[in-house]
Amino acid sequence: MSASTAATFSTISFAPKATPFPSGARALNFTTQSSLLSFSGLKASSPSLACHSNSSFLGKETAAALQRSLLTKTHKSTLAQTTPSAPLNIQASYKVAVLGAAGGIGQPLSLLIKMSPLVSDLHLYDIANVKGVAADLSHCNTPSQVVDFTGADELAKSLKGVDVVVIPAGVPRKPGMTRDDLFNINANIVKTLVEAVADNCPNAFIHIISNPVNSTVPIAAEVLKNKGVYDPKKLFGVTTLDVVRANTFVALKKNLKLIDVDVPVVGGHAGITILPLLSKAKPSANFTDTEIDELTVRIQNAGTEVVEAKAGAGSATLSMAYAAARFVESSLRALDGDADVYECSFVQSDLTDLPFFASRIKLGKNGVEALIPSDLQGLTEYEQKALEALKPELRASIEKGVAFVHKQPVAA
């Protein structure tokens, strides 16, 4: 999926003197005396490819994990035994498809994915207006080749050989609209797209962004089951935005350095089903009962906060794109062999009595390697009550998604 020619960019400095990116080149050439700037805000410098993340998709622990991963690659390539300028060749070798790429989330998300040094091919699909998006992005001098696909007739082609499928397709929330109001519109969209994924790239990681995630992920699972290709380890509801918001709000409230903050968020991805576990926040912080309640409610209602602020002009498209790109990058790192990748996601789970549940997971080459149960241990009384309170609503949303698929035939 990638060529062997190494290259550097003019906009991303990999060597002291950057050169134009030659046509057809797909590999990246890093040196220990150069600066590495990726879309996730990473920097590498001599003498040992040290990584620092000042403002990025990455938290402190994730940045450290990436540093270990890069150092492992360095040692494997015997970089330590060669001259300081010896190159570390990292292939851009993964194909990513964005279904709904012309939308409010799809466009900024596609831009962020285009900036990833791990992506060789970026397939952009939508029912209309995607050609201009692809043309625009294709001018960015990053490794991935951008190809556009328009309409149902080209959907299958957009998915051939893809490693990660990201689905932001659907209608956005409008003032006064709950996530549940979106169900009837978006359920059919997700069902149709996942049917195509099952037929054309059944082994791909599937990232569901389309709301309501509490129902659309079960819809996707039932479609995949009916197609005989369901792998629960490779189906993800993207709840990263809840974590991003929790980290941001906690850092502001407690005057903490944002890059150090990590707050696990469990449950689901709507209203009271979103449960930030402030007692598990890193670094540890003391919260008053009032602060806990205010932070929890704000994190749960942050989407509505943006919808109301935009006053009918859209929903949380930019922050959602940012969070989704972080989850894509984590998936690509896992596929690329990084053994220390953790994110929160809404997945099939046995951590509670619910069939799907958002929690911290460990990602690997085959998808979910492990669920992390420790976050649900030793909860505060507030968190335990909130956990029990969210279960009926989350269960109803899951069952609604399952029932939707059972009422309708799966396309051949």
CB atoms within 10 A of CB 408: 13
Matching residue, tokens 């009422």: 407
Identify whether 269 is a catalytic site residue. yes
Cα dihedral sign for 75, 14, 1, 228?
positive
| b/e map 340-364, b = 16+ CB within 10 Å | bbbbbbbbbbebbebbbbbbbbebb
Do the beta carbons of residue 219 and residue 194 sit within 8 Å?
yes
Rounded to whole angstroms, the Cα distance separating 152 from 341 reads: 35
Rounded to whole angstroms, the Cα distance separating 26 from 24 reads: 6
Task: Identify the active-site residue in 75, 123, 139, 269.
Answer: 269
The count of residues in the chain is: 412
* Pick from 189, 238, 187: nearest CA to 215: 187
Q: Which two tokens stand for residue 247?
A: 């980290």
Residue 168 vs residues 17, 70, 124, 215, 231: alpha-carbon distances, Å = 38, 30, 11, 14, 20
Rounded to whole angstroms, the Cα distance separating 291 from 287 reads: 6
* 290 contact partners, CB below 8 Å, separation of at least 6: none
Rounded to whole angstroms, the Cα distance separating 20 from 9 reads: 6
Q: Which two tokens stand for residue 338?
A: 């990084």
Q: Which two tokens stand for residue 324?
A: 């989704």
User: Phi/psi class of residue 97: alpha, beta or left (left: φ > 0; alpha: ψ in -120 to 50)?
Assistant: beta
The DSSP result for 73-96, as a single string, is: HHHHTTGGGS-TT-EEEEE--EEE
Residue 198 vs residues 77, 84, 189, 206: alpha-carbon distances, Å = 37, 47, 14, 10
Rounded to whole angstroms, the Cα distance separating 300 from 38 reads: 31
**Strand 205-208 and strand 50-53: pairing?**
unpaired
* 3-class DSSP assignment, residue 115: coil
Positions marked active-site: 269
